[in-house]
Amino acid sequence: MLKDFKPVLSILLRFIIIYLVLLFAYQFYLNSFKESGLDPYSRSIAEQIATIQNKIGYTTSLYNDVSKEQVWFYVNEKYVSRMVEGCNAISVIILFTAFIFAFYKGTKTFVFIAVSLLVLYIMNILRIIGLNIVTRDHPEYNRMVHDYVFPAVIYGSVVILWLVWIKFFALKNENS
C-alpha cells in the first residue's frame, strides 16, 4: 500500500525539506540585521518604490524607523504607509519556490523559477505602489485594498504560476 503513495510522499517530503531550509536561511538572514532596522532587501524594495513613485508624479521620501524595523513612505506631503519585512514577499517566494522544486523537472525548473520570481517581484512592487497611491488619494479604501485586494493580487499570481508549472511543465509527460 505504501508503494501507491510513494510518489506523493516523495513530493511532499521534498516540499517540506526545501521549505524549511529556505525558511531557516531567511530567518538567519533577518536575525543578522536585527539591530540595524529593516533588512537591506526590504529597504531596497522601499527605495525602488520611492524611485518609481517619484517618476510617476507622487513625490516620495522615506523615513527610516530603525527601532521599529520599518520604513515609512512620505508621499505628497503625507505619511501613507510603512514598509516592514512582511511586505517584501519573501515568505510568499519561499513557499512558491519550495512548491516548484517539489515537482523538480531538471533545468527547466530553474528557468521557470527565475522567470516566476521576476514576475512576483514586479507584482509585489506594483502592489505596494498601488497601496501607497490608494492610501494617499483615497484613504477610505485603505483597509479594503490592504487586507483583500492586494493580497489577492500577490497570492493570485502565485496560484496562477503554480498552475502553469503543473499543467505545462511538471505533468506534461504524464498527460501525453
pTM for this one? 0.91
Expressed in angstroms, the distance from the first to the final Cα of the chain is 26
Per-residue pLDDT of the chain (176 residues; tens, 9 = 90+): 678 888 889 999 999 999 999 999 999 999 999 888 899 999 999 999 999 999 999 999 999 998 888 999 999 999 999 999 999 999 999 999 999 999 999 999 999 999 999 999 999 999 999 999 999 999 999 999 999 999 999 999 999 999 999 999 988 765 44
* Phi-psi group of 13: left, alpha or beta (phi > 0 → left; psi -120 to 50 → alpha; rest → beta): alpha
Residue with cell 510513494: 6
Give how far Cα 9 sits from Cα of 16, 21, 22, 94, 107, Å: 10, 18, 20, 20, 23
What's the pLDDT tens digit per position in 90-129?
A: 999 999 999 999 999 999 999 999 999 999 999 999 999 9
Cell 512558491, residue located: 96
Q: 90-102 vs 2-31: helix axis angle to the nearest 10?
A: 150
C-alpha dihedral, 87 to 158 to 165 to 103, nearest 10°:
60
Contact (CB, 8 A) for 154 and 124: yes
